[in-house]
Amino acid sequence: MTEEHVLLYPDPRLRQKVEEVGALTNDEKGRVFRMLRLLYEQMGIGLAAPQIGWMKRLIVINVHPTHDPRHSMAVVNPRISEESQKKWTMREGCLSFPGIYGSVERPWAVKIEGQNLEGENMVFPVSGLAARCILHEVDHLDGVLFIDRMSAATMVAIRPKLKRLEQHFKRRGQA
């Protein structure tokens, strides 16, 4: 069993578009549960498989304020099939960007399609914070980061923090 950890910007794996998942093995299902544990440990609300170096189309989310495990969701091969015209802007963060936050505009509601851990098809609408979280995590599967969706002014404001993450990554010999 490997110990999972969140990859930090600018790890190049965060920019890769990842491949679809076939039927999950029991080991891979165990990895999904380790992703959820890591999500709770990091106090996040969503995590995409590439953020732990697992280059598959899989996300986990739990936007419940208490992180009650009954509200956890894993979606295999998620796809956004509809987006609302209504948009909203909110300050977002990301576990791969510790201490960095910025305003991002996203649709208020989406319809998501995918499979559960048993391979059964799911289609369901979500709105508000859950929709935002799913959109953020699905972006990760396509190599799109939340900083890519920020305004130029926000990018100027967070640039010093991004530089620190880049320097830390380089010092650790990961570049």
Specify the pLDDT at position 3: 72
The chain-wide mean pLDDT, for the chain, equals 95
Which sequence positions are flagged as catalytic? 137
Cα 70 to chain center, whole Å? 19
CB 45 within 8 A of CB 90: no
Helix, coil or strand: residue 23 = coil
The Cα angle at residue 101 between residues 83 and 41, in degrees rounded to 5: 90
Specify the pLDDT at position 65: 83
For 12-90+107-144, CATH gives 3.90.45.10
Structure tokens of 14?
Answer: 């965060």
- Model confidence pLDDT, tens digit, residues 18-41: 999 999 999 999 999 999 999 999
Specify the pLDDT at position 17: 98
Mark the ranges of the chain whose per-residue pLDDT is less than 50: 1, 175
pTM of the model: 0.94
